[in-house]
Amino acid sequence: MTTPPPKATPDAAPEAGPDAVFRRHLEAGEFALQQCGDCGIRVFQPRMLCPACGSDRLDWQPVSGRGRIHSRAVLKQRPEKGGDRAIVLVDLAEGPRMMSRLPDTPAQDIVIGMAVRARILQGEEGPAVVFDPDPDGLAEPSA
């Protein structure tokens, strides 16, 4: 009789694969994304194949961390539980869009189109990419 493999837990960090490589970059203090060696697009979430062309030639490249708020959702909480907080979608200068937060910015101060810059927050659950307002940020795209 064989022993079944241990069940994966949602909070367990991957040990191998693109997610693990992304996490190791963050642990080293580097914000890097995959870039396709065939079509050139930047990719987020980490993956095995390019979502645009199907290539397996995805290499890790550092990114600027600059972007703009695409959208936000405010999670209402009681003041004794930390008050309201916002979850945001950020359009990175390099192309991908990622979900994150601005932990040091009040939810009511976060507006769509706001320029932001990434930083790596080393927390109890491991490193995470979070953002701060960037007063010297990206120029508004022309209409």
Q: What's 80's domain CATH number?
A: 2.40.50
Q: Is residue 50 one of the residues assigned to a domain?
A: yes
Residues with Cβ < 8 Å from 124, sequence gap 6 or more?
none
Q: Is residue 2 one of the residues assigned to a domain?
A: no
pLDDT, residue 56, reads 96
The whole-model pTM stands at 0.81
d(CA 106, CA 121): 17
Q: Are residues 81 and 133 in the same domain?
A: yes
Burial of 12-24, coded b for 16+ CB within 10 Å and e otherwise, reads eeeeeebeebbbe
Token pair for 44: 């987020």
For the chain of 143 residues, list the mean pLDDT of each consecutive stretch of 10. 52 73 96 97 96 96 96 92 90 96 94 96 93 80 44
Q: Is residue 9 one of the residues assigned to a domain?
A: no
Q: Is residue 22 one of the residues assigned to a domain?
A: yes
pLDDT, residue 65, reads 95
Q: Are residues 114 and 56 in the same domain?
A: no
In the sheet where 58-62 sits, what is the strand order?
42-43, 32-36, 58-62
Q: Which domain does 19 fall in, by range? A: 15-63
Structurally, the chain folds into a number of domains equal to 2
